[in-house]
Chain A
Amino acid sequence: MPSISKILIALCFAPALSWSQGYQVNLQGQAQQGMASAGTGLIQDAASVFYNPGGMSFLDKSEIIGGMSPTFSNGIFTEANTDEFARTTSPVGTPFAAYGVYKFSDTSKLSLGLGIYTPFGSTVEWEEGWVGRFAVTRLQLMSIFIQPTISYKLADAIGVGAGFIYSYGKVNLQKDLPLQFQNGDYGSVELAGTGSGFGFNVGIYFEPTKWFSAGLTYRSQVNMNLKKGTATFNIPNSLEDKFPSGSFTSSLPLPSVMTLGLAFKPTDQLAIALDINHVGWVAYDTLAFDYEQNTESLEDTKSPRNYENTFAFRLGAQYDFTDKIIARAGLSYGISPVSDGYVTPETPDANRVSYTVGMGYGISDRLKIDASLLYTQVSRTDRNLETNLEGTFKVMAFAPGLSISYIFK
């Protein structure tokens, strides 16, 4: 059997970038990913810490899961009118998630859980000298959420749960500046910083019959505040006093997500799940950088983003072939939060259809492996109102993922 590591090594040579709706990465829990990331109304495993804390207390056993979804994507931008084009050279995205649920006893109504996951982030890098280089050459956005969670089964059919979120994030934005050195090279700036924020994740889970269940969750907005970022200018000597390297502050909202999930189990083998997400992207109104030291040339910037609240619809199904093998498939449709005129090369977003498949394999009663694969593509033509960059972005992305679960019996 070829080892998974070999597959991953082979894949690492492919240029990639990770993109999802806005800068949100919907890659949590392999069982759920196989079903288009629907899992709010269907309690499968410890990933319920993320998908629905209210359903966590419905798990029979204590359980831990660790998984990763390397994200490969290729983007191309074709400029309107000039026929110039450029490709992305982004590295592989590495969203990961680990969840643990602890039950005091099989009959305990109380469960404790912990989730460590990366719900937002991506690295987008464009080839050298591309036509949009004065807008962005590279953006790395990384966030880790740590979510201790408590869940309580109020009755046989209903459970509630709540988690506290601490998030830590990193941002690194690079772009060229239209200031040329004597040799013709362009200057550049790198804005790097770390930030942290707080939030919560609450949910209620309802399972009135064997064949129907539902969930409602709300993950709050988390504001990542960059208190002391570092701006580093690489520019001709004669301009150094105009563009002093130094500190800046900024903040990035990670939007709230409210989800209604429904699940149907018409037979013992088949489960169908539907999640409807409402994402509070309206919070991403402006990307502002406040430089500690301003000059005539270096003023604070406020770039309008004007994101809008959006919906995403996720439909998935799974079928138990045997006790050990489960197959999954899903389809999702996400509406872009980015209005016309605001598409940027760091998140060239569009309405998108995503296709997923997945498989679960029980190695033993205690050990389970889940694999998933997501494929999506987007295409968006726009003229950005701030930079006037005009053209068509096309992105293809796919994310194979693998997780291992251990159930304490």
Chain B
Amino acid sequence: MNRYLTFIAIIIIAASCKPKKIETQSELGDVDVTSIVAIGGNSFAGYSDDALHREGQEYSIPSIVLSRMEGSNQFNPFSQPYLSSSSDGINLNGNSKLILGYKTDCKGVTSLSPIRKATSGNLNDLNNWIYGTDGPFYNLSIPNLKSEDLNNVGLGNPANGTGNYNPWFSRIASNQVNSSILSDAAALNPTFLFLSVGQDEITEFAKTGATGTVLTNAVFYNNLQNIAATIPNAQGVISKIPNVLLTPYFNTIPYNGLTLDSDQATTINSVFNPIGITFQVGDNGFLIEDASEPFGVRKMVEGELVLLGIPLDSVKCFGMGSIVPIPDRYILSLDEITAIDQLISLYNNEISSYAAAYNYALVDPTQTYLSLQSGIVYNGVSMSTEFVSGGAFSLDGLNLNPIGNALLANQYIKAINNKYNARIPLAPVTNYPGVYFP
């Protein structure tokens, strides 16, 4: 009898035996978590799918990093200026966010495509001042941040008139008339800063086909220094500017997407041969505006980029890119590409100098973009810079989605771990949301 009982006991003990988790220690090292404040643009605010929306905010880069910092519980949840969870998202044009849906083009072809979630966004999401009920906000990041805005008192003041204030800051400023981003930040006595400045102004320049103007790198550096002047003793991590030209926004429509049969080629050639432009049967570079050409138009050449913002129906049905040249604002020429690359490089040199001068950890998001460009496999999931199917960029093709943010957030965690002797565990990238399919 006893023998059986012993046998049963052995089996039961063995059955309840489970292997233990590998013990790891999460440590914050020298990071002073007393007051963690984020100042940045789109990527820090969680702007994606061409709008500010709740899910994007929840998985903003600072939010993901902080969620991995055990022991900084006072920041979980991180105090961000959230839209209501029922919001469809909102952008400055009053549109809701993009989702994947079905769209019928001018030729009557229905296909899966980014469409607006609602006919319009709720403008109250943009216009309501929420500091009074939800502030203060430790994530002071706002879409369309420009470096000269940091120290701009009244940046949130609608009375300054359109173009002279940023409505995203109006929402969250402690005082729309008297506060700047930096004064609101300083009021929180930051001990640790998340900084990402310069990206939005470069992106804006690039996505308007390099038609606008940008600050010189020297002015940019002075603007950065305003941060250290206002908040002198904080630790921090600062991001370089990613090479925006690697995003799907600039790499989805091929330069030679003008495909002609022989009849079409003959017709177009009868128009353009007289001014020295020849089209062939098959793939051709699109016809674009170029003021430096004698007749103001030419064909695109390899290496030039068509922007995703181009009105596709005009291309498909109304001769844009063939009979009608594509306006300059939808195109980056080789010269413009070189200019943007140089600009990014100059700005990034300033950011590196600034990080060195004030002893911040430094992150280079271009590394994440480049690895996506060459394609990565993360826990069995393939990701790339392909529009939609690449899985890491949001439906606007410019901003990362939560999975992409998690990939990039891991670069921040590594940089912080390295700089501040911390051991913050990385974010499990594939646990974050990606593209939702209908």
Residues of A within 8 A of B (CB): 1-2, 7, 10-11, 14, 16, 72, 74-76, 78-79, 81-85, 87, 129, 131-132, 134-135, 175, 178-182, 184, 235-239, 371, 373, 375, 377, 379, 386-389, 392, 394-396, 398, 400
Contact of B436 with A78 in the complex, beta carbons under 8 Å: no
Min CB gap B426→A, angstroms: 4
Given known A-B contacts A81-B425, A238-B100, A400 and B19 have beta carbons under 8 A apart: no
Q: Does any Cβ of A come within 8 Å of B21's Cβ?
A: yes
21 residue pairs from A and B, CB less than 8 Å apart: A2-B5, A7-B8, A14-B15, A16-B15, A76-B21, A78-B21, A78-B22, A79-B428, A82-B428, A83-B26, A131-B431, A134-B430, A178-B382, A178-B430, A180-B436, A182-B436, A239-B437, A371-B7, A373-B10, A394-B19, A398-B17
Also in contact, A184 and B19, with CB within 8 A (given A11-B11, A178-B381, A400-B11): no
Candidates B1, B14, B18, B427; contact of A82 at CB < 8 Å = B427
Is B108 located at the chain interface by the 8 A CB criterion? no
Nearest residue (CB) in A for B383 is: A178
A84 to B428, Cβ gap below 8 A? yes
Task: Tell me the bound Cα distance from A84 to B24 in angstroms.
Answer: 10
- Interface residues, chain B, with chain A CB atoms under 8 Å away: 1, 4-5, 7-8, 10-12, 14-22, 24, 26, 100, 102, 112, 376-382, 391, 425-428, 430-431, 433-438
Residues of A within 8 A of B26 (CB): 83
- Decide if B377 touches A387 in the complex (CB within 8 Å): yes
Q: Which of B4, B10, B437 contacts A181 (CB 8 A)?
A: B437
Given contacts A178-B430, A178-B434, contact A396 B19 (CB under 8 A): yes
Enumerate chain A residues within 8 angstroms of B16, measured Cβ to Cβ: 14
Contacting residue for A237 out of B24, B378, B380, B438, CB 8 A:
B438
Which residues of B have CB within 8 Å of A129?
Answer: 431
Chain B residue contacts of A135, Cβ below 8 A: 379-380
Q: Which residues of A contact B380 (CB under 8 A)?
A: 132, 134-135, 175, 178, 386-389
Q: A82-B426, A239-B437 are in contact. Are A178 and B19 (CB under 8 A)?
A: no
Complex-state Cα separation, A89 to B46, whole angstroms: 36
Question: Are A76 and B18 within 8 A (Cβ)?
Answer: yes
Q: A181-B436, A181-B437 are in contact. Are A74 and B378 (CB under 8 A)?
A: no
Distance of A188 Cα from B52 Cα, bound (Å) = 30
Whether A11 contacts B19 in the complex (CB less than 8 A), given A82-B426, A178-B434, comes out as no
Once A180-B433, A238-B100 are accepted as A-B contacts, the answer to whether A83 and B24 lie under 8 Å apart by CB is yes
A sample of 5 more A-B contacts (CB under 8 A), given A85-B22, A131-B430, is A131-B379, A134-B380, A181-B437, A387-B379, A395-B19
Tell me the nearest residue of chain B to A179, going by C-beta. Answer: B437
CB-CB < 8 A to A16: which residues of B? 15
Residue from A82, A179, A238 within 8 A of B112 (CB atoms): A238
| A contact residues around B19 at 8 Å (CB) | 74-76, 377, 379, 394-396
Q: Which 4 pairs across A and B sit closest by C-beta, in order of nearness? A: A134-B380, A236-B437, A394-B19, A387-B380
Provide the bound-state CA to CA distance between A398 and B15, in Å: 8
Whether A72 contacts B433 by the Cβ 8 Å rule is no
Q: Which of B24, B377, B379, B438 contacts A182 (CB 8 A)?
A: B438
| A132 and B1 within 8 A (CB) | no
B379 touches A389 (CB 8 A): yes
B4 in complex: contacting residue of A1, A83, A379, A394, CB < 8 Å = A1
Q: Which chain B residue lies CB-closest to A357?
A: B10
Question: A132-B380, A389-B379 known; A180 and B437 CB under 8 Å?
Answer: yes
With most chain A CB atoms within 10 A of its CB, the pick from B21, B112, B377 is B21
In contact, A82 and B425 (Cβ under 8 angstroms): yes
Instruction: Tell me the smallest distance from the CB of B281 to a CB of chain A, in Å.
Output: 26
Least Cβ distance of A181 to chain B in Å? 7
Known: A10-B12, A396-B19. A236 touches B438 (CB 8 A): yes
Using Cβ atoms and an 8 Å threshold, which residues of chain A touch B11?
7, 11, 373, 398, 400
- The 8 Å CB contact of B436, one of A85, A131, A184, A388, is A184
In this complex, the member of B8, B12, B14, B381 whose beta carbon has the largest number of chain A beta carbons within 10 angstroms is B14
User: Which B residues lie within 8 Å of A11 (CB)?
Assistant: 11-12, 15
Instruction: Return the chain B residue nearest A395 by Cβ.
Output: B19
The answer to whether A131 touches B20 (Cβ under 8 A) is: no
CB-CB under 8 A from A178, the residues of chain B are 380-382, 391, 430, 434
- Set of chain A residues within 8 Å of B14, measured between Cβ atoms: 72, 373, 375, 398
| A76 CA / B7 CA spacing, docked (Å) | 26
Q: Cα distance A394–B434 when bound, in Å?
A: 30
